[in-house]
Amino acid sequence: MPTALAADPAVSRLHSPVIAWFEAHARDLPWRRPDAGPWGVMVSEFMLQQTPVSRVLPVYEQWISRWPRPADLAKEAPGEAVRAWGRLGYPRRALRLHGAAVAITERHGGDVPTQHAQLLALPGIGEYTAAAVASFAYGQRHAVLDTNVRRVFARAVTGVQYPPNATTAAERKLARALLPEDEATAARWAAASMELGALVCTARNEDCGRCPIAEHCAWLAAGKPAHDGPARRGQTYAGTDRQVRGKLLAVLREAVHPVPQAALDRVWDEPVQRARALDGLVADGLVEPLPDGSYRLPLT
C-alpha cells in the first residue's frame, strides 16, 4: 500500500518532472549503458564513493577492459586490484571489490546476484551499494540514498539546505515514502534524483533556475534559509595521514619488486607520522611486510 506521503499529490508530482529532466539531461556514462551489465554497475558504485565522476572514468575504463567479469578479477592477487585502483583514494575499496568478486565467483557462478539480500551478503557491500546495484543493474524498487539524493530530498521536501552529516532513520523513511510504486519507475526515480543532485541541486551554487521541481521545492519556497545545524564536515587532505598513505602506496604500486624500507622512508620526512601511516596500511591489508624488512602489495 502507498504511504500517506507517497500518496500526497504534492509529493507524487515530483516524480514525472525529475524523470523527464533525467531523460533529457542525464550524462552518457559507461556504467549506464546496456553493455555495462551488473558487474559494470557494481564496479562504478565502488569507485564513485566519495570520488567525482571525472576521476573515476579513466580508471573504470581500464578496470573493465582488464577485468570484464568478476571471475577475471577474482583470479588475480588482491594487490593487483590495489595497483589498478591508482590514485582514486580510499584504496580499501579496491580490496573490498576484489573480495566481492571472489565471493560472486565462488557463490554465484560468476554472476552478480540479483537479490538485494544476496548483494548485501557480499563482503564490502553495505546498504547503499546493495540498493544501488539492485536498482540500477536490475531495475528493482529500492531507496538509493547517496549524498546527492539526500540533499535533493532535504531541500525539496524537508525545506532545509543540507541533510544531516550521517543518514538518519527519518531520511530512510522519507526515501521509502517517496519511491514510486511501479518498480521500473522507482528505479528510474532513483537514478534521476541522484543525477539532479549531482548536476543541479549541488552542495554549492545550486542552479534553481534549471531545476525541474523548483516550483515544488520547500527550501526555495521558504527563501532558501541558511543551514543552522551541526557544522558540515570538511574534507582535508594536505598533511594528513591519508596523504602519507597515498604517497606510500604510490611507491608500492609502481614497483615491480618488493620495496625496501629506505625507499619508503624517502616519501615523508616526519618519521612518526610515516610509521603510523605504514602501520595502518599493513593493518588494513593493503600492504604486506616481508621478513627481510621490505614491503609489497598483498598477494593473498
The cell for 124 is 564490502
Q: Which residues contact 151 (CB under 8 A, 6 or more apart)?
A: 162, 163, 197, 201, 203
CB-based contacts of 64: which residues, under 8 Å, 6+ apart? 30, 36, 39, 40, 43
* Cα-based distances in Å from 179 to 33, 145, 191, 295: 23, 11, 12, 49
| Residues ≥6 apart with Cβ < 8 Å to 234 | none
Give the whole-angstrom CA distance, residue 24 versus residue 30: 17
Q: Enter the C-alpha cell of residue 297.
A: 602489495
Active site residue 45: yes
- Which H/E stretch holds residue 239? none
Residue whose C-alpha is closest to residue 157's, from 3, 22, 1, 12: 12
Write down the catalytic residue from 45, 80, 171, 206: 45
Q: Degrees (nearest 5) of the Cα angle 104, 115, 103?
A: 15
Which residues are catalytic, by number? 45
